Structure 1
Amino acid sequence: MNPIADRYRVRADAFESKVAAVKAGQWENPSPCAEWNARDVVGHIVDMHGAMLRPFGRELGPAPSLRSDPLGAFRAARADVETVLADPVLAAAEHETPMGKMTAEQHIDQVVSADMVLHGWDLARATGQDDTIDPDEVARMLPEAEAIPDEMRIPGHFGPGIVVFGPEVIVPADASPQDRLLGLMGRDPNA
């Protein structure tokens, strides 16, 4: 059992179920992410899967178009990353990341795997689905969100056009852990 691969699978299953539940007329609905609609949220997740492959000189494999089949595009990207996680040599390969040197599986866990949790909320919110985040995920992610350095909130810090975290949204002191997490991640839970 590999806890990182298992965590990725659970998160990908949850995200995939949200993608599968989007109705045809909802893909253009605005999301909580400024300037992104529901399709753009899925596109970002697909793109981030590709970013996890680049350190190995790999790209995403053939896939359905995001425009015609967002679910198929996500499933194909997911399969490409799961191939890395299933290969002990690739999963343990170290490379430089914006957060320092780490293994491929650590990078996947900290970036695209965690991204699916928060962007799953965005997709659910955009398409009228249940936007409850698994409380265990909230408990795992909240301490990390509380420790986000201010420089990571500066647009372009990781390169031109790259925004990692938006400005913190202040929530009431008695807000739920999920709402505190969302606020720290630059989302207004009450919007």
Structure 2
Amino acid sequence: MKTPTMGEIADRYRRRADAFDRKVAAIRPDQWNNPSPCEKWTARDVVQHIIDMHGVILRQLDRTLSAAPSVDEDPVAAFRSARADVEAILDDPSLASLECETPTGRMTAEEHIDKVPSADLPLHGWDLARATGQDDTMDPADVEYHWSAITALPVDLLEKYRTPGAFGPGVEVFGPEVRIEEDAPPQDRLLGFIGRDPRWSA
């Protein structure tokens, strides 16, 4: 994959965050405790995870999430506040270009955003959509992006991604691969590769 530019990373994050925001805003009050494809997580837990990962990025820069309603109080406001904190980094070249140590090596803040919370948004957007009966179609550009990135991972790093706790207590990046037919749609094959069952239903 070619190295993305600062503008590409910011634009990609905003597009993905817009799509996730729409899903969060469309959830009915009675759906927040619905189970999700992520074992042991409800729809509300999925949003909390996304916000937590935004906080991880900020900590790398000695920053914290701004004061905001909790996910229990107002999930939409909670996500939008965390999103604004990350966008503030992307909009400031001096912050976006700062290098930091990450579990997968040294990289700039914007690269870390691209690889963690930004990359999480479409995948967990699928979880949220499936949990709450929304359209779960991922943007084909994101499916292609993730497929290219994930299938290019070295075997040892891929195994680390599949090992619970390898990146910290309670952290599981990918689950065991779910076997999917070779002629299945690209989105289904991607989901199966990262451990999701595209046939899952609440």
TM-score normalised by length of structure 1: 0.97
Distance 2:17 2:178 in 1: 26
1:145, CA displacement in angstroms? 2.2
Q: Say which of 139, 156, 159 aligns to 1:150.
A: 159
2:176 aligned partner, one-letter code: P
Matching residue within 164, 167, 177 for 2:173: 164
Q: Secondary structure at the match of 1:167?
A: coil
Residue pairs, 1:92-107, within 5 angstroms: 92-107=97-112
Farther-moved stretch of structure 1 (86-95 vs 151-160)? 151-160
Whether 1:58 aligns to 2:67 is no
Deviation at 1:186, TM superposition (A): 0.8
Shift of 1:160: 2.1
Structure 1 partner of 2:196: 187
Q: 1:67 aligns with which of 72, 78, 81?
A: 72
The 5 Å alignment of 1:1-191 reads: 2-148=7-153, 149-191=158-200
| Partners of 2:142 and 2:60 in 1: CA distance | 27
Q: Deviation of residue 8 (structure 1)? A: 0.4
2:3 corresponding residue in structure 1: none
Query: SS where residue 2 of structure 1 aligns?
Result: helix
Distance in 1 (CA, whole Å) between partners of 2:194 and 2:75 is 25
* Alignment deviations for residues 131-151 of structure 1 (CA, whole Å, 9 cap, x no partner): 000111111111222234212
CA distance, structure 1, for counterparts of residue 144 and residue 173 of structure 2? 21
Identity score, percent = 62
- Per-residue CA deviation, residues 1-24 of structure 1 (Å, 9 max, x unaligned), is 711111100000000000000001
Q: Distance in 1 between matches of 2:187 and 2:83?
A: 26
Shift of 1:118: 0.2
What RMSD in Å do the two structures reach over aligned CA positions? 1.0
1:159 is aligned with what amino acid? Answer: G
Q: Partner letter of residue 177 of structure 2?
A: E
**Matched pairs, number:** 191
User: Unmatched 5+ residue regions in structure 2?
Assistant: 1-5
> Could you give the per-residue CA deviations for residues 70-113 of structure 1, whole angstroms, max 9, x where no partner exists?
00000000000001111101000001111101000000001100
Cα separation, 2, equivalents of 1:144 and 1:4: 15
| TM superposition shift of 1:173 | 1.3
Q: Which segment drifts farther, 116-125 or 165-174?
A: 165-174
**How far does residue 177 in structure 1 lie from its aligned partner after superposition?**
0.4
Structure 1 residue runs of 5 or longer lacking an equivalent are: none
